[in-house]
Structures are given as C-alpha cells and as structure tokens.
C-alpha cells in the first residue's frame, strides 16, 4: 500500500528578464496541482492570475508555443536544469517533490539573446541555415522531370534529418557553441547533409562543403555528443557530423588535386 503524500501544489520558480540588456530576477508562483499537466498548460494557468507567492500582481510571464507537439520548436527552455521542449515536459515527470508540493524551475535558453522572460531570439540558427544553403534550388529544375529513385536507406536518413525543427536544444548542449568560437553548430551540419543527399539539392554540395571547411565549420566539433542526447526528435546528429566530416575531407583532397568545380 502506497504511503506517498499526494501532491497538492505546483510551485514555479521562473527566471525573468525584461530584455537582453536588463538584469534577471526570479518570480515564484503556486497553482493547485492538476494531474497530467505539462509546463505549457501550467504557464497558461499562471497567466490567468499572475500573482506571486508574495501576493504581488505582476506582468504575465512571456513564453512561446505554437504546435504543442514537438513540431514548431519554439517552446525550448530549461526545465529544472535540463534543456528541452516545454510542451512535452509533464509536471509529474520533471518536477522535484517537496512534501505535497512539486517544484519546477524555468529558465530561458542561455546561448541566444533574451527577448523577454522565457522568449529568446534564435535568429542565429536560421542565419546558419543560410550559410549552408539549406534549401533546394528550384530555378531551372522544375521542368527536368521526375528525379531518379533513391536508395531506401538514403530516403530514411533524409526523413530523419528533416525532423529537425530548429529548436536550439543541440546548440545549448554543445560545449563548442560559445562566445569564443564561431562554430555553426550541429543543426546546420545535419541540414547540409540532408540537402547534399537530395537529388536537386546536391547542386550546391560543393558550396556547402566549402563553408564547412571554414573556421565556422566542422573542425570545431569536439565530438562531445551532447547534441544527440538532447534532441527532442532524435535527429541523428552525430551520424550526420561523421558523414559530413568524411565528405569535407574528400572535398579538400579533391580541391588540393584540382578536381573540384
């Protein structure tokens, strides 16, 4: 027979910030426990009546969410010290229990500029996608007819790589992404492989490989493998990095021998 005390309260300790230049502060909120609640649904409850445990009425906490099913990537934040999607963070699983109270600490991502509270500016990730030309060139290709069939293993890999939602978890977990390096990060490298394996996207393969041999490229990867551990969609990031490492090596040899272009 279980003797565990039933949870009655959810206590949120939320790190807040007015903008990227202001100092951070913490507000504590408490709401009644509700079974099967996730972080986003409880933030919605707090928004209805944003009164701290000290009785102070404050501005509602700012956060982002759209799909609520790990597709949009916008609700990335630290939940009790772990970077993840807030929409899949069930309170019963991620909280720390103190008696009949479940404690959840929320913080914004640390490697992107804070816009407000839990919202950050992930523009750098999309700029990195531009650097690796993560798209399929359409001009001049629309009338070429159907592409050749691909090996099923390549098709499956492309599908797995396409699951990236640019959420930023891998960037947060990567020790090589910091203020001392210009490392493009795991997500962009994986997308370079995705489009290098595309029948039309491979048109820009040498451009992608040229960029990934630069100071911002793949040699900055320290093989920590944190990225693949935190990816919410299980994108094969380390496999992609290994394959792009091979491709850039072959590219550099061919370039040295004058066999590129």
Q: Which of 184, 159, 174, 165 is nearest to 233 (CA)?
A: 165
Tell me how far the alpha carbon of residue 38 is from its chain's centroid: 19
Q: What is the pTM (predicted TM-score) of this model? A: 0.92
Average pLDDT, the chain: 93
Q: Report whether pLDDT(248) > 70.
A: yes
Task: Please compute the mean of the pLDDT values over residues 174-202 and round it to a whole number.
Answer: 95
CB 238 within 8 A of CB 225: yes
Task: Assign 222 to helix, strand or coil.
Answer: coil
Q: Which of 228, 246, 144, 243 is nearest to 186 (CA)?
A: 228
State the span(s) of the chain assigned CATH 3.10.20.30: 9-116
Q: Which of 118, 96, 99, 121 is nearest to 107 (CA)?
A: 118
Per-residue pLDDT at 4: 62
Q: Report whether pLDDT(189) > 90.
A: yes
State the span(s) of the chain assigned CATH 1.10.1060.10: 122-256
Task: Please compute the mean of the pLDDT values over residues 158-166 and round it to a whole number.
Answer: 97
| Architecture of the domain defined by 122-256 | Orthogonal Bundle (1.10)
Q: Report whether pLDDT(1) > 60.
A: no
Banded model confidence at residue 200, pLDDT cuts 50, 70, 90: confident
Per-residue pLDDT at 140: 65
CATH ID of 9-116, from 3.40.50.10170, 3.10.20.30, 3.10.20.600, 3.40.50.620: 3.10.20.30
Q: Please tell me the distance from the alpha carbon of residue 261 to that of residue 259, in angstroms, as a whole number.
A: 7
Q: Which of 81, 88, 74 is nearest to 105 (CA)?
A: 81
Beta bridge pairs of residue 98: 101
Per-residue pLDDT at 2: 47
């Amino acid at each position: 027979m279980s003797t565990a005390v039933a949870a009655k309260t959810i206590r949120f300790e939320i790190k807040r910030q007015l903008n990227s230049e202001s100092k951070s502060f913490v507000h504590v909120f408490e709401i009644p426990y509700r079974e099967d609640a996730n972080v986003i649904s409880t933030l919605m409850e707090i928004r209805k009546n944003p009164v701290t445990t000290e009785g102070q009425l404050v501005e509602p906490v700012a956060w982002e969410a759209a799909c609520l099913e790990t597709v949009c990537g916008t609700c990335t934040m630290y939940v009790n010290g772990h970077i993840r999607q807030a929409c899949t963070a069930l309170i019963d699983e991620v909280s720390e229990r103190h008696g009949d109270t479940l404690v959840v600490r929320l913080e914004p991502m640390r490697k992107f500029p804070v816009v407000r509270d839990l919202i950050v500016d992930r523009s750098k990730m999309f700029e990195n996608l531009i650097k690796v030309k993560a798209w399929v060139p359409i001009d001049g290709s629309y009338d070429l007819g159907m592409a050749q069939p691909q090996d099923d293993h390549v098709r499956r890999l492309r599908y797995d790589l396409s699951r990236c939602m640019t959420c930023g978890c891998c960037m947060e977990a990567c020790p090589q992404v910091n203020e001392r390096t210009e490392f493009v990060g795991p997500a962009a490298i994986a997308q370079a492989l995705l489009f290098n394996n595309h029948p039309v996207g491979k048109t820009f393969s040498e451009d992608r490989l040229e960029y990934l041999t630069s100071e911002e490229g793949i040699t900055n990867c320290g093989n920590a493998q944190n990225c693949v551990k935190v990816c919410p969609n299980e994108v094969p990031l380390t496999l992609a990095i290994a394959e792009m490492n091979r491709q850039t090596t072959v590219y550099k040899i061919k370039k040295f021998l004058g066999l590129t272009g």
